[in-house]
Each structure stands twice: as C-alpha cells, then as structure tokens.
C-alpha cells in the first residue's frame, strides 16, 4: 500500500516529471529481462493548431539539457520505494541510471508538418519509456507558442511578448517568451527570460505610474526626465484624445526638445484601437512628431491584428499578452510519442499502432524525414518520410506516395533533397554544439522568407504542405496495418 511522502518542496529534479505508468512499465521491463532491449520511438503531431499551414519545432534545447542531466537522486528513489510496488533491485538500478540513447531531431526553429517525426528516440526500453512525459512537455508547449507567435509576427510589424502574468506558471512564461522570440517577437516584458535565455526585455510604464502623480503631465514629465533616450508614454489612463495625447505632445515640446531628444512612442491599452490610432497619428504628425511610434496592447492576437491592419490603423508595434503566451485560440499542440520499432536478435523490428481512426494508425519502423526543394526557386516542394536506410537521389525523378490519396501518381523532378532529422545525442553524448538563440531565430526567419510558400502562411485556408511517403515506407505501413487489423 502506498504511504504518504512529502519531500522538500524546493527540491526539483526534471527526471521525476513523468506519468506514473512510465515507472510501472519500466519496472515490468526490468523484471522481465527487457531492460537492455533497444527500442525506437517517434514524437510527432497530427494537426497544425488554428487551422494553420505549418508549425515551428521548438523545445529541443530544453530536451537536450534534460537528457544530459537525467538521473535519480536519493530523494527520488525513496519516493518510489514509499509506493511499495517497485522492485528494490529495479530501484537500485535507477539510482545509477543515465540516459545513453540516441536522439535525432529537427533543428530547433525548423518548420514542421503533421505526422512526420520531430524527434526520434532510440534507447534502452527503460530510458525511452521514462522520458516520454518530459519530452512531450518541452516539445508540445514550446512548439505551440512558437507556432502561435509565428502567425502573430507574420504581418511584419514589431511584436512584443507581454504575457508572463497570464502564463500557466513560471516555466511556461520563461520558455514561452523564448519560443516567441525564436518565431519573430522582438522581445519580452519578462526579465527572467532575458536573464536566462537572452530574450530582450522591454517595457516602460503601467497605469499605476501615471496615477501615482498628482497629474498626468507630472507623471509624464518625471518619466521623460529620467529616461530621455527611451521615452514611451502610456496615454490612456484618463482620456486619450483630451488628456493623454495633449500631455505627450507637451512633453516633447517642453521637456525633450530642450534636451535635443525625441519621444520614442506612445502606447494605447484600451478603447477602439483603430479609431484612436488614426486620430493619434494625425495629431502627432501635425505636431512634428512623425517619428513617434504607436504601440497598442489589450487582448490582441493575429486575428484582431489582421482586422486592425485592414482598417488602416497606423500601428507600428503590438504588445501581445495572454493570447500568445497561452495560445488561447487553440492551446493544445497535440504531439504524441509512439513506439515504432523493437530490437530482436540484433535487428530493429517495426511496430505499429492500428486504429479505426486512420489518422491514429502510426507509421512503423525506423524512419527519416526529407525535405525536397525546387532547385530554381529554393522553396520546399514537399516532405517525404522514408525508411532510415533509404536514399533520395537528386539526379533522377523521384516517385513517392501521398498517404491521404495513395492513388495519385507523384513524381518530383528538379529538386534538392535534405535530411531534416539530425543527430543531436548519440550514446548519451551531445554530438554537436547547440545553436545560439539568435542563430535559431535567424534560421526560422530564413525558412519563412525563403523556403515556405506564402500560401502556406495564410491565416485562413492555407495551402496544405504535402507530407508524402516513400513507396517502401508506405508499403510497410499498409502490410502491417492489414496484418493487425482484424
């Protein structure tokens, strides 16, 4: 029978971030002599949230750091022992266990599509089992926020991530800010995300600052004198057009002009943002403040931004909070972690999960993901899932299968083929340095500007990127599906 167990609540070991069934399975593998059996798992997702045309793979750095430090402390072993159902020999084994498997993954920031592996794990059965929950936590959350941020940032206007206070906890806030920056945000309001990851921290004042002073003008004047080189004023505390804007113009004339400084911007956080921004822009221009930017916030996302832009709102930047950091319109990424092969007599034997719902029937075996690019335009034609030992030769036409429409005759010519899954960890060791945050961000931007068709990036009814299969991979899936489908 389980007994209560209350360790130090300040103690944290990410190896313990697991579903309980992972331990019951691992214990059973140990007791049935399968602890060293090599297995292969795929992590992938089945649909792009928000009806989008693509996703942004994110979270690999967190996953790598977790795997390189994977271990159990005495506190963890004592906790499991308190449950009274795990073999003492198994717990002793875990006390010295380290992850020694292989990780192949899409580079962080890579554009990704449904049903193709984002991460491929090959490891002993116990290790591959115990990492499932934390792997999915990292990849699902960060990929979801990066994908949402990419949609929000696609309009070309500066986007600031303002959502920490509405995030689902500290890790969600900090890693979400990092994911948003990778996908195109210019910075975050979150200081810890800047300190930990290098996401530029941005911000000026809240309404409380204005309310602290006897008058709005005095609040603005104090701020302008303290921050003359970075003066952005929040002008909607009382009345935008009759108080906030006139006082901001006075600050430029009476405080900043004598110092030879220019106001950086004004911010609107309430009201009809399209109407107010038009009125504000006209009056700022008339006052000789054409260089003063307009920033808006208040419950925005890609849909409200699109509406504002269509209405001709002269907005230079957007502060996006809860609807970015929680991806409120469609918050679940839906990535899954499925067994694809098990070692038998030195060979990896494919495994399949069959479902009446065809989309949940998995792709068996050890696989590779390729991206085929048009040699002339540089844009991606399609992705192809092959068996790992297959090659795609560029000097001849390539025939493959659309798994959703297998009757189609698909032949691709004039292409460049690139393997998308890259070795990251081999035998438990990092095999290449992780890229910097700026390198990841630049990689994502390059793909969206030079490799992903604009039609795939539409907010509404985007073009569907084709994820095809090699004839060999598709034939294996169909054979195994038919074999196990009674």
pLDDT in tens, 459-484: 999 999 999 999 999 999 999 999 98
| pLDDT, position 7 | 63
| pLDDT, position 1 | 43
- Name the pairing type of β-strands 55-56 and 111-112: antiparallel
Whether residue 6 has pLDDT greater than 70: no
Mean per-residue pLDDT, 21-43 = 98
CB 42 within 8 A of CB 362: yes
H or E segment and range at residue 474: helix 471-484
Task: Return the CA Rg of the chain.
Answer: 27
Among 1-10, 188-197, 245-254, the minimum mean pLDDT is found in 1-10
Q: What is the mean pLDDT of the chain?
A: 96
| pLDDT, position 356 | 82
Backbone angles phi, psi at 54, to 5 degrees: -160, 165
Which residue shows structure tokens 């709102």?
313
Phi-psi region of 25 (alpha: psi -120 to 50; beta: other; left: phi over 0): alpha
| pLDDT, position 2 | 46
Q: How far is CA 392 from CA 19, 367, 417, 474, in A?
A: 39, 13, 7, 15
Mean per-residue pLDDT, 410-432 = 97
Domains detected in the chain: 37-59+102-130+335-484 (3.20.140.10), 146-325 (3.20.20.70)
Note the pLDDT tens digit of each residue in 66-81: 999 999 999 999 999 9
| pLDDT, position 486 | 56
How many Å apart are CA 170 and CA 413, to the nearest integer? 49
Whether residue 392 has pLDDT greater than 70: yes
How many Å apart are CA 49 and CA 116, to the nearest integer? 15
Which residue shows structure tokens 């790992």?
388
- Name the pairing type of β-strands 410-412 and 317-320: unpaired
How many Å apart are CA 197 and CA 192, to the nearest integer? 8
How many Å apart are CA 106 and CA 118, to the nearest integer? 5
DSSP bridge pairs for 320: 161
Q: Which of 155, 79, 150, 83 is nearest to 110 (CA)?
A: 150
Q: Which of 194, 203, 253 is nearest to 231 (CA)?
A: 203
Residue with the bigger pLDDT between 413 and 486: it is: 413
CB 80 within 8 A of CB 86: yes
How many Å apart are CA 60 and CA 299, to the nearest integer? 29
347 burial level (CB within 10 Å; 0-12, 13-18, 19+): exposed
Residue with the bigger pLDDT between 377 and 360: it is: 377
**How would residue 5 be classed by pLDDT, with cut points 50, 70 and 90?**
low
Share of the chain above pLDDT 70, in %: 98
CB 323 within 8 A of CB 301: yes
Note the pLDDT tens digit of each residue in 14-28: 999 999 999 999 999
Note the pLDDT tens digit of each residue in 207-232: 999 999 999 999 999 999 999 999 99
| pLDDT, position 10 | 77
Q: DSSP letter at 241? A: I
Query: In 3-state terms, what secondary structure has residue 277?
Result: helix
Whether residue 340 has pLDDT greater than 90: yes
Q: How far is CA 290 from CA 155, 264, 295, in A?
A: 22, 10, 14
Mean per-residue pLDDT, 88-115 = 98
**How would residue 156 be classed by pLDDT, with cut points 50, 70 and 90?**
confident
* Sign of the C-alpha dihedral computed for residues 273, 274, 276 and 281 taken in this order: positive
| pLDDT, position 12 | 86
N- to C-terminal Cα separation, the chain: 39
How many Å apart are CA 17 and CA 78, to the nearest integer? 16
How many Å apart are CA 235 and CA 250, to the nearest integer? 12
Mean per-residue pLDDT, 297-320 = 95
Whether residue 8 has pLDDT greater than 80: no
348 burial level (CB within 10 Å; 0-12, 13-18, 19+): middle
């Amino acid at each position: 029978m389980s007994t209560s167990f209350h360790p130090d609540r300040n103690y944290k070991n990410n190896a313990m971030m697991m579903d309980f069934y992972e331990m019951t399975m691992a214990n059973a593998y140990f007791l049935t002599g399968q602890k060293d059996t090599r297995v292969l798992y795929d992590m992938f997702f089945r649909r792009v949230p928000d009806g989008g045309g693509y996703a942004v793979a994110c979270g690999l750095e967190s996953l790598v750091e977790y795997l390189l430090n994977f271990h159990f402390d005495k506190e963890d072993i004592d906790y499991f022992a308190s449950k009274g159902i795990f073999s003492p020999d198994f717990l002793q084994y875990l006390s010295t266990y380290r992850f020694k498997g292989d990780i192949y993954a899409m580079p962080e920031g890579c554009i990704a599509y449904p049903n193709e592996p984002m991460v491929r794990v090959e490891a002993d059965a116990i290790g591959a089992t115990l990492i499932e929950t934390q792997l999915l936590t990292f990849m699902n959350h960060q990929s979801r926020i990066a994908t949402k941020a990419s949609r929000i940032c696609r309009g070309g206007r500066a986007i600031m991530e303002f959502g920490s206070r509405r995030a689902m906890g500290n890790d969600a806030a900090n890693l979400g800010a990092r994911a948003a920056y990778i996908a195109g945000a210019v910075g975050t309001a979150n200081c810890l995300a800047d300190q930990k990851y290098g996401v530029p921290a941005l911000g000026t004042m809240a309404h409380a600052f204005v309310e602290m002073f006897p008058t709005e003008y005095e609040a603005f004047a104090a701020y302008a004198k303290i921050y003359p080189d970075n003066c952005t004023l929040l002008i909607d505390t009382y009345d935008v057009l009759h108080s906030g804007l006139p006082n901001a113009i006075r600050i430029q004339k009476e405080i900043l002009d004598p110092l030879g400084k220019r106001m950086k911007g004004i911010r609107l956080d309430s009201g009809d943002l399209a109407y107010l921004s038009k009125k504000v822009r006209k009056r700022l221009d008339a006052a000789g403040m054409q260089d003063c930017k307009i920033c808006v916030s208040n419950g925005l996302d890609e849909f409200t931004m699109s509406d504002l832009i269509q209405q001709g709102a002269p907005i230079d930047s957007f502060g996006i909070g809860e609807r970015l950091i929680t991806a409120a319109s469609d918050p679940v990424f839906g990535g899954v972690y499925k067994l694809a092969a098990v070692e038998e007599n030195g060979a990896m034997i494919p495994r399949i999960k069959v479902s009446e719902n065809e989309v949940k029937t998995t792709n068996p075996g050890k696989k590779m993901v390729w991206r085929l690019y048009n040699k002339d335009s540089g844009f991606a034609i399609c992705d192809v899932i092959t068996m790992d030992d297959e090659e795609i030769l560029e000097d001849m036409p390539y025939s493959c299968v659309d798994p959703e429409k297998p009757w189609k005759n698909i032949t691709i010519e004039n292409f460049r083929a690139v393997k998308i899954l890259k070795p990251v960890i081999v035998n438990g060791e990092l095999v290449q340095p992780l890229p910097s945050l700026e390198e990841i961000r630049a990689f994502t931007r390059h793909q969206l500007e030079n490799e992903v068709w604009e039609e795939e990036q539409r907010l509404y009814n985007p073009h569907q990127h084709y994820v095809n299969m090699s004839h060999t991979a598709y034939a294996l899936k169909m054979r195994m599906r038919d074999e196990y489908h009674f």
